[in-house]
């Protein structure tokens, strides 16, 4: 990762845009979504920028830029369209340690602007690090279609509720579980449909329940992660990784799978490689029991389908005897993944290879079902 994604607080910060044409206007439109103080510098401005200046929404300086214009600037955009002027501006900004973006010139820029899905205060930033902006725009379109236009109302609701939750639910793990449960329940739909009073009533009930459950034991998930390909993780396995407080894994588990996990989850690595020392199963069970009794959600990762290992049965039996809530999340087996891969790789037309009947045949005869023949 060359570019580290961050969100800057631009409230009451100075942002300088050098340029007076359409390219500069595009940057100004984006910056107007923030609370920054925007100054545009150019010898001439198009009607849009002129109107923004006349209305007092931005400041206009009608001349070529000077290094002194960058004083106290938090960000700088070079959008004049003049290569020499933009290059000089970039050098001046970087010499002053001010982040600068030169439009359509990644090499001269110290930061890039991602594609944004704006559901203020909920914002999604998408970047290909300048490699393929068209791909980023395609992903943006898909996310735009997934999120309701008023999706930001959920974040606003959470922001208003957060001080109350922090005051009444002191334990961090309990707070996290409260938020997870809250937005999986009816509160989400109530807020999005404008019924915030009803949403607040349910949230108050959820807070009481969270308070009453503080100190209760957590949960153990024995999760199979398949043959190691992160793309073969089941949806339930991904969900458990997002919910986990403690993740236990050995060296047979592909480390890339942890990209699906919460960054702040504690990770326990237990050796399983021949010739290396590893934690005994009895010690591992003690760790799982201890952390679960603290109220944590413990996820034990294992390669393959978790149900296919005799150790899983022993783990499940022991944890159940201890009175701990335990579940098994099966993974994709190696045999299934290899069979499917072989079918797809050796077939010119996978659908023909599997001989799945056409949908129109099923529509003509509703009582029939799809049949997979060998």
Task: State the catalytic residues.
Answer: 250, 272
Tokens of 296: 């944590």
The closest alpha carbon to 339, from 238, 254, 232, belongs to 232
CA angle 219–222–227, rounded 5-degree value: 150
Q: How far apart are the C-alpha atoms of 302 and 251, rounded to whole Å?
A: 10
Q: Report DSSP state, residue 318.
A: H
> What whole-number distance in Å separates Cα of residue 1 and Cα of residue 320?
43
> Whole-angstrom Cα distance, residue 63 to residue 84?
16
Which residue's entry shows tokens 């915030």? 196
Nearest one of 292, 360, 327 to 370, comparing CA atoms: 360
Angstrom distance (rounded) from CA 261 to CA 252: 17
Do residues 136 and 126 make contact, with C-beta atoms less than 8 angstroms apart? Answer: yes
Contact 51, 31 (CB under 8 A): no
C-alpha radius of gyration, the chain, whole number: 28
User: What whole-number distance in Å separates Cα of residue 222 and Cα of residue 217?
Assistant: 16
Strand arrangement, sheet containing 14-18: 59-62, 37-42, 14-18, 73-78, 100-102
d(CA 173, CA 180): 11
Sequence-distant (≥ 6) Cβ neighbours of residue 352 within 8 angstroms: none
Q: Pull the structure tokens for residue 4.
A: 């580290």
What the block records as the tokens of 175 is 């707070």
Angle between helices 310-321 and 281-293 (to 10 degrees): 40
């Amino acid at each position: 990762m060359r570019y580290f994604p961050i969100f800057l607080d631009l409230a009451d910060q100075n942002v300088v845009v050098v340029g007076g044409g359409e390219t500069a206007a595009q940057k100004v439109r984006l910056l107007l979504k923030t609370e920054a103080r925007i100054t545009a510098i150019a010898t001439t401005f198009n009607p849009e920028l002129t109107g923004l200046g006349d209305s007092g929404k931005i400041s206009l300086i009608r001349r070529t830029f000077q290094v002194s214009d960058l004083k106290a600037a938090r960000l700088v955009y070079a959008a004049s369209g003049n290569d020499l002027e933009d290059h000089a501006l970039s050098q001046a900004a970087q010499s002053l340690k001010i982040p600068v973006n030169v439009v359509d010139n990644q090499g001269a820029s110290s930061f890039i602007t991602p594609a944004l899905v704006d559901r203020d205060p909920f914002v999604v930033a998408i970047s290909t690090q300048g490699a393929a902006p068209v791909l980023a725009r395609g992903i943006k379109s898909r996310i735009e279609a997934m999120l309701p236009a008023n999706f930001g109302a959920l974040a606003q609701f959470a922001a208003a509720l957060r001080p109350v939750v922090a005051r009444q639910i002191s334990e961090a793990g309990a707070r996290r579980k409260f938020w997870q449960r809250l937005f999986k329940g009816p509160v989400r739909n109530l807020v999005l449909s404008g019924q915030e009073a009803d949403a607040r009533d349910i949230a108050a009930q959820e807070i009481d329940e969270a308070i009453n459950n503080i100190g209760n034991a957590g949960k153990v998930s024995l999760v199979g992660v398949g043959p190691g390909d992160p793309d073969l993780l089941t949806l339930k396995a991904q969900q458990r990784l997002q919910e986990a407080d403690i993740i236990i894994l050995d060296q047979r588990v592909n480390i890339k799978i942890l990209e699906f996990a919460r960054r702040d989850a504690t990770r326990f690595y237990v050796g399983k490689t021949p010739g290396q020392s590893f934690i005994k199963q009895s010690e591992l069970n003690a760790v799982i029991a201890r952390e679960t009794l603290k109220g944590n959600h413990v996820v034990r990762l294992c390669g393959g389908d978790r149900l296919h290992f005799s150790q899983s049965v022993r783990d499940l039996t022991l944890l159940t005897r201890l009175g701990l809530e335990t579940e098994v999340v099966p993974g994709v087996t190696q045999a299934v993944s290899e069979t499917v891969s072989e079918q797809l790789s050796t077939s010119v037309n996978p659908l023909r290879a599997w001989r799945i009947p056409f949908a129109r045949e099923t529509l003509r005869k509703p009582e029939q079902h799809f049949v997979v023949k060998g």
